[in-house]
Chains A and B, each alone.
Chain A
Amino acid sequence: NAGVTQTPKFQVLKTGQSMTLQCAQDMNHNSMYWYRQDPGMGLRLIYYSASEGTTDKGEVPNGYNVSRLNKREFSLRLESAAPSQTSVYFCASSGGHDNEQFFGPGTRLTVL
């Protein structure tokens, strides 16, 4: 099992460009999450999907959109990137009663 995979691992964008971060899990989990982590800080929830077909806003959803394409895949889109969106983005999934979340390796995004 690959667990949670994310692409790309690194990305540099110019202000105003758009891009989609891809995430997939092979653990048959119902719930998936997108977080951002800034230097020296904790993870902040951008969006989550409790189950296939549903998405909800987290703490910091402005500037982002998500799509739960199917049970396996949950993508994050930046429509018009801004320097404030420079961060490390983590995707996670969970399926147990304890909500143990399994994280992908992260995408390191720089917006110039």
Chain B
Amino acid sequence: GQSLEQPSEVTAVEGAIVQINCTYQTSGFYGLSWYQQHDGGAPTFLSYNGLDGLEETGRFSSFLSRSDSYGYLLLQELQMKDSASYFCAVRGTGGFKTIFGAGTRLFVKA
């Protein structure tokens, strides 16, 4: 089967750095993605890792280690607007079937 694990909640203060981890078990692996979702909204794409290593996009970075079946999303210089749910997602068999984790709720405090 396929499964992803990520923490259910994380709390951090404005201006800080937070890391959200994701471990996965899949049959076939084509890449790990991260999505952000604000309450009542639709998920929006943040980043994608197809190969091992770090990808940086502005304040957000994402890391992948395929040998450890592990990745993380790093958010720097946290802002109040970063309060949202963050989902990791794995492309599995065939490269199109995408499985999402249950999500990590991030609370940013002043």
Q: Assess the A98–B96 pair: CB atoms within 8 A.
A: no
A-contact 0/1 string along B81-110, CB 8 Å cutoff? 000000101010011111111110000000
For B96, give its contact among A42, A50, A100 (CB under 8 Å).
A50
Q: Which of A19-27, A62-70, A77-85, A103-111 contacts B (4 or more CB under 8 A)?
A: A103-111
B1-59 residues at the A interface, CB under 8 angstroms: 30-31, 33, 35, 42-45, 48, 50
Bound complex: CA A44 to CA B102 (Å): 9
Interface size, A (range) = 20 to 34
Q: Assess the A48–B97 pair: CB atoms within 8 A.
A: yes
Q: Assess the A42–B42 pair: CB atoms within 8 A.
A: no
* Shortest distance between the CB of A14 and any CB in chain B (Å): 25
Q: Assess the A41–B102 pair: CB atoms within 8 A.
A: yes
Is A99 part of the contact surface with B, judged by Cβ < 8 Å? yes
Bound complex: CA A48 to CA B89 (Å): 15
Q: Assess the B44–A103 pair: CB atoms within 8 A.
A: yes
For A45, give its contact among B48, B97, B103 (CB under 8 Å).
B97
Enumerate chain B interface residues (CB-CB to A < 8 A): 30-31, 33, 35, 42-45, 48, 50, 87, 89, 91, 94-103
Enumerate chain A interface residues (CB-CB to B < 8 A): 31, 33, 35, 40-45, 48, 50, 56, 58-59, 90, 97-106
Additional A-B contacts beyond A42-B100, A43-B100 (11; CB < 8 A): A40-B103, A41-B103, A45-B97, A90-B42, A98-B31, A98-B48, A99-B30, A100-B48, A101-B43, A102-B45, A103-B43
